[in-house]
Amino acid sequence: MKKDQRPSYDHVPMVVIKRLPKYYRYLGELVEKKLERISSQKLAQMMDISASQLRQDLNHFGEFGQQGYGYRVEDLYQEIGKIIGLEYQYNMVIVGAGNLGRALANYSNFCLRGFCLWALFDIDPELVGLNVNGIGIKDISELHDFVADNNISIGIITVPKEAAQGVADRLVAAGVKGIWNFAPVDIKVPDSIILENEHLADSLMVLSFRLRGKMG
Amino acid sequence: MKKDQRPSYDHVPMVVIKRLPKYYRYLGELVEKKLERISSQKLAQMMDISASQLRQDLNHFGEFGQQGYGYRVEDLYQEIGKIIGLEYQYNMVIVGAGNLGRALANYSNFCLRGFCLWALFDIDPELVGLNVNGIGIKDISELHDFVADNNISIGIITVPKEAAQGVADRLVAAGVKGIWNFAPVDIKVPDSIILENEHLADSLMVLSFRLRGKMG
DNA sequence: CAAATATTGATATATATTTATCAATGATTA
DNA sequence: TAATCATTGATAAATATATATCAATATTTG
């Protein structure tokens, strides 16, 4: 008998994937409001997208609605959570215990959602040994063993851009499966490693572009 | 005689706009390396996109290249900077002096690039009066007058999601032109206000989705 | 300085994404 | 329970985006 296997959802376009968290967010609010069901029409209106897009997006992953009735809010919320992969626990480390690294470490909500931070790393001896939100800052030399020994699957990079590629290489060598990069540079990783960039300065530039016409 | 007017670049698709910072970043590196010229072919290869896309993107804004020669690196860098709007000074405030707000305040590089932070605001009396990176934390009650009196064009929201919409309303009422929102919620603003969202949790979920197949 | 080469910007083609439509069908109503 | 209504999921059409091609032309070479 074939082992129960998770669907792979290959061929689902990335634009669709990027909308999943938004669906999850809105459904979460509806769950809190104890709403039992909702139509694609109404949900789409709330989210300021088209009902067609909403239904088509969901249909990439299965048939979750009932004709003439709509979607059961709680069920759909759970299903999307599973699709996103939120039933897993992801163990994480942050490399770079500067302001941003420490800010992320303090954002303890992540851990509640299955994204669990176990350590920060830094090269600065002044920082090593300190504690952020109950999480220790270790010397970068300990990175490899810590990642390997503690089943760390995500490495978060919050170092200056000059150091980012080196850190990425070390994280990959140590065995992380994914990298969340906040350094303002495009790092290179093997195809098998999942890379998500958070280029804050880029967003600010997009804001700048869009503001141009409105400036004094 | 018609006043020299900045082009509006309406009808340029948002996907193209979002790539501009990346072009700017790579060209900046080439400028530092004192490279004089580059072809779309080579630059595209460096950036891991197609040469066709690069040329087509640039042609939305003008003709910057020379046939048989390529693009002058320094010129193109400057031009893209202007297109993005980096010759303006944007005055900014942060509302929410928690970890993330303070981390952003500490990231003083922004100010060098024309994005100048003038104050943080918070509701917590414990924080009001403190100083972050030389920038004072003020009481939220002072927000309106400060924004209005100091030609603040960008408001950065780093408060919990429950407070985000209220803060956005106050920023808009006080006269900001754009909002950079880090709260994990979709806030509503008038059409005339430019809104950029930085939904960090959403990115982490996309990472989660893409990691699914690779987990234990 | 003429010929060969490189490279753009424009256009055409292909692909991807979004939106509109509607038959099928379960829910609701009388 | 039969008739009506609401809403999905699928398909088709429209739109947007990316890629390939190539004539035009500036640069480089011999």
Rounded to a whole number of angstroms, the distance from the CA of A72 to the nearest CA of chain B is 22
Taking the CA of residue B13 and the C1' sugar atom of nucleotide D16, their distance in angstroms comes to 9
Contacts of B78-82 with C-beta under 8 Å, sequence gap 24+, read B80/B20, B80/B23, B80/B24, B80/B27, B81/B24
Chain B residues within an 8 Å CB radius of A205 = 20-21, 24, 84, 86
Q: Which residue has the higher pLDDT, B112 or A166?
A: A166
CATH topology agreement for domains A14-83 and A90-203:
no
Alpha carbon separation from A86 to A29, A65, A110, B194, B203 (Å, rounded):
17, 21, 11, 32, 13
Domain coordinates in residue numbering, chain A:
14-83, 90-203
Taking the CA of residue A71 and the C1' sugar atom of nucleotide D6, their distance in angstroms comes to 12
Taking the CA of residue B23 and the C1' sugar atom of nucleotide D20, their distance in angstroms comes to 22
Q: Which residue is nearest to nucleotide D27 (CA to C1')?
A: B68
Beta carbons within 10 angstroms of residue A15's beta carbon: 10
Residue B5 pLDDT level (bands cut at 50, 70, 90): low
pLDDT per residue as tens digits for the range B63-87: 999 999 999 999 999 999 999 999 9
pLDDT of residue B92: 97
Is the pLDDT reported for residue B3 higher than 70?
A: no
The pLDDT profile of chain A, 216 residues, written as one tens digit per residue, is 444 567 889 999 999 999 999 999 999 999 999 999 999 999 999 999 999 999 999 999 999 999 999 999 999 999 999 999 999 999 999 999 999 999 999 987 777 789 999 999 999 999 999 999 999 999 999 999 999 999 999 999 999 999 999 999 999 999 999 999 999 999 999 999 999 999 999 999 999 999 998 887
Rounded to two decimals, the pTM is 0.96
Distance CA A53, CA B163 (A): 30
Q: Which of residues 9-28 of B touch strand D (CB under 7 A)?
A: 13-16
CATH level 2 (architecture), domain A14-83: Orthogonal Bundle (1.10)
Question: Mean pLDDT over all residues of chain B?
Answer: 95
What does CATH list as the number for A90-203? 3.40.50.720
pLDDT per residue as tens digits for the range B158-216: 999 999 999 999 999 999 999 999 999 999 999 999 999 999 999 999 999 999 988 87
